[in-house]
Structure 1
Amino acid sequence: MCVGCRVRAARADLLRVVAVEGALLPDPDKRLPGRGAWLHHDLGCLEQAIRRRAFSRALRLGAMPDTSGLLRYLRGSIE
């Protein structure tokens, strides 16, 4: 389920995201260790997840993580 729009989708249609040292990293190969959150390859879903603080809850973090790396990755994959 996408943490942004809350729509169920196949694993192949979603991007796994993990938190490493307070920053969100994309995990396109779905192999990084740790708890992951799932997100559509869509900037709108990322914006919704940030607004709702969904990453903090899904990844069980105390504070909102840095999303700049994930934002750069999504912008690059869409263009």
Structure 2
Amino acid sequence: MANEADRAQIHEETFRAASLARTKNATGPEPLVIDGQVCCANCEEPIPEARLKALLGVGLCVNCAEEGEAAAEKEEEKEEE
């Protein structure tokens, strides 16, 4: 039967694996650092702290990321025609 230390170790290993997977899956440009703030590589606006914590290594703000995704979808549609 697993004791508290075993459960803690399993939890830590699971958390670490998930964090590494998110980091490996992060795509896009590196963020900029302007006056000590992490900023979008496209528009140079600060990236909110919550986004930085949720997506390790993110380099685009939500607006620029959505614009990039929309452009990529349009490009894929053109290629399918």
TM above 0.5, yes or no, is no
Higher helix share: 2
Specify the structure having the higher radius of gyration (Cα): 2
* TM norm structure 1: 0.29
Q: Which has the higher contact order (CA 8 A, sep 6+)?
A: 1
